């Protein structure tokens, strides 16, 4: 049996170097040209074929020694518009972004490094497995749109039929050296919204002569809070929050308009998200009718689905961790309320998203994602890369036929779902 963990440990210097390069040179969503160029150059050095997908990212592939299943491995590549702090939670960082105002604050630098390390060794060992491994490096995950171009290529222009998919996400609250695999949805679905309410302003002394958008919003917001009790089953988890609210400038003037924006998250579109989305629009329309206001939906796409972990793929992932890393590496999985475009990929192909632990309080690693203090313990990446490798080898050797129902929804509508 191949000693995957020891192999990756011996190659940790390269794994860390890859992560640090990506971390020091972050690029925002849809601007990741240099990132993709570096990935391409690395793959070329490994002897792996690849293709740049315009507006989408990069697709690479490795053929094994004979025919078999086709497995898709996915990593996201974009950074966030956040100014990185000089320190993490407690100490100076081992590396820091060289681009002010841009930071890998979600761990995508680690995702790229782990997938490249897995690709390197899958290619080295390709005489030991059958099938094909397709590597997808996704632009703009934080904004969702670029995934359409990658999936369209895979669905219509590529020579492959994808049988299963795999991804991992580093996680701030799981200790480095641990891997978590949820049996149900590991990450939430949701939708974002930005709404403008138009009324008729007036003097603050005569609200009876005005049509206040603030009063209208107040009625809407109260009914939305009550909706969580009326429309969401007690065992379902759903959050609804307003993150932005703007209206008026003067204390004695009732404003003409109000703009609010926020998000809703859930772990089941079918049991919670779908009805909440529909009721949102109904309650908004009723409030505006009651207060003689009008509304304009500036942003409110169809909800993004929750990430779906296929039971067969979960079993293969757990076996891979136990076999190649050790049972002690598996830890309890608590679903994460954040959202992921892998939700779309896992609707098209059966798959699994695992969590790679990167928390280490002694090293100052444990700040939440999307914050200036976010940092990862690079030792944790060893276990993430080993899990990816182990899953690939187990899946390709088992060659399972996985019962799976693809959605009837056309690809263009599926990829339009977004936060």
Helix (H, G, I), strand (E, B) or coil at 179: strand
Distance, in Å, from the CA atom of 389 to the CA atom of 339, rounded to the nearest integer, reads 24
- Taking Cα atoms as reference points, which of 350, 340, 345 lies closest to residue 418? 340
- Taking Cα atoms as reference points, which of 163, 187, 146, 169 lies closest to residue 59? 146
Q: Which residues contact 418 (CB under 8 A, 6 or more apart)?
A: 143, 144, 145, 191, 192, 301, 302, 304
Give the pLDDT confidence of 15-39 residue by residue, as tens digits: 999 999 999 999 999 999 999 999 9
User: Yes or no: is domain 188-299 CATH 3.40.50.1820?
Assistant: no
Distance, in Å, from the CA atom of 24 to the CA atom of 113, rounded to the nearest integer, reads 13
User: What confidence category does residue 348 fall into, taking pLDDT thresholds of 50, 70 and 90?
Assistant: very high
CATH 3.30.70.360 occupies which residues in the chain? 188-299
Write down the residue that tokens 């276990």 correspond to: 383
On the 0-12 / 13-18 / 19+ scale of CB atoms within 10 A, 114 is: buried
Q: What integer is the mean pLDDT of 340-345?
A: 97
Distance, in Å, from the CA atom of 185 to the CA atom of 267, rounded to the nearest integer, reads 6
**Residue 32 backbone dihedrals phi, psi, to 5 degrees:** -85, 40
Q: What integer is the mean pLDDT of 91-100?
A: 97
Binding residue numbers = 106, 108, 142, 169, 370
**Radius of gyration in angstroms for the set of CA atoms belonging to the chain, rounded to a whole number:** 23
Q: Give the DSSP H/E element, type plus range, for residue 288.
A: helix 274-290
User: Contact 112/18 with Cβ under 8 angstroms?
Assistant: yes
Q: What integer is the mean pLDDT of 378-397?
A: 99
pLDDT of residue 143: 87
| pTM for this model (two decimals) | 0.95
DSSP notation for 105-120: -SSHHHHHHHHHHHHH
Q: What does the H/E/C string look like for 299-363? A: ECCCCECCCCCCHHHHHHHHHHHHHHCCHHHEECCCCEEEECCHHHHHHHCCEEEEEEEEEEHHH
Give yes or no for residue 230 having a pLDDT over 90. Answer: no
Give yes or no for residue 74 having a pLDDT over 90. Answer: yes
CATH 3.40.630.10 occupies which residues in the chain? 4-186+307-416
Distance, in Å, from the CA atom of 74 to the CA atom of 412, rounded to the nearest integer, reads 20
Binding residue numbers for Mn(2+) = 106, 108, 142, 169, 370
Q: Give the DSSP H/E element, type plus range, for residue 123.
A: helix 108-124
Distance, in Å, from the CA atom of 338 to the CA atom of 369, rounded to the nearest integer, reads 10
Give the pLDDT confidence of 319-328 residue by residue, as tens digits: 999 999 999 9
DSSP category for residue 209: G
Distance, in Å, from the CA atom of 357 to the CA atom of 176, rounded to the nearest integer, reads 4
Give the pLDDT confidence of 103-131 residue by residue, as tens digits: 999 999 999 999 999 999 999 999 999 99
User: Yes or no: is domain 4-186+307-416 CATH 3.40.50.300?
Assistant: no
Give yes or no for residue 229 having a pLDDT over 90. Answer: no
């Amino acid at each position: 049996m191949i000693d995957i963990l020891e192999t990756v440990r011996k190659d940790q210097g390269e794994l860390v170097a890859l992560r640090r390069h990506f971390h020091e040179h972050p690029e925002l969503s849809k601007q990741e040209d240099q990132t993709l160029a570096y990935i391409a150059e690395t793959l070329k050095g490994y002897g792996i074929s690849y293709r740049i997908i315009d507006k989408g990212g990069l697709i690479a592939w490795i053929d094994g020694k004979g025919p078999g299943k086709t497995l898709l491995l996915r990593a996201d590549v974009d950074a966030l518009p956040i100014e990185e702090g000089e320190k993490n939670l407690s100490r100076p960082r081992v590396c820091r972004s060289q681009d002010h105002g841009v930071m890998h604050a979600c761990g995508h630098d680690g995702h790229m490094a782990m997938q490249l390390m897995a690709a390197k060794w899958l290619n080295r060992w390709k005489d030991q497995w059958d099938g094909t491994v397709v590597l997808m490096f996704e632009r703009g995950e934080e904004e969702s749109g670029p995934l359409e171009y990658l999936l369209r290529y895979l669905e219509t222009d590529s020579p492959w039929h994808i049988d299963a998919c795999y991804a991992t996400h580093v996680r701030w609250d799981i200790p480095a050296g641990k891997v978590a695999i949820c049996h149900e949805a590991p990450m939430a679905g949701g939708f974002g919204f930005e709404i403008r309410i138009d009324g008729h302003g007036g003097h603050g002394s005569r609200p009876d002569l005005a049509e206040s958008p603030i009063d209208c919003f107040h009625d809407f917001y109260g009914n939305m809070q009550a909706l969580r009790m009326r429309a969401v089953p007690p065992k379902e988890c759903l959050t609804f929050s307003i993150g932005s609210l703007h209206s008026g400038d003067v204390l004695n003037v009732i404003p003409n308009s109000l703009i609010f924006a926020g998000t809703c998250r859930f772990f089941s579109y079918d049991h919670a998200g779908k009805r909440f989305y529909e009721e949102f629009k109904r309650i908004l329309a009723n409030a505006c009718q009651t207060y003689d206001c009008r509304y304009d939906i500036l942003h409110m796409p169809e909800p993004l689905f929750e990430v779906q972990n296929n039971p067969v793929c979960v079993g293969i992932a757990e076996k891979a961790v136990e076999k190649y890393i050790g049972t002690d590496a598996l830890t309890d999985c608590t679903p994460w309320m954040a959202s992921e475009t892998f939700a779309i990929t896992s609707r098209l192909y059966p798959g699994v998203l695992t969590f790679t632990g990167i928390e280490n309080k002694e090293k100052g690693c444990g700040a939440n994602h999307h914050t200036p203090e976010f940092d990862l313990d690079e030792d944790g990446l060893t276990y993430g890369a080993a899990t990816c490798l182990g899953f690939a080898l187990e899946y390709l050797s088992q060659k399972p036929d996985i019962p799976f129902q693809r959605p009837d929804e056309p690809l263009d509508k599926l990829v339009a779902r977004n936060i």
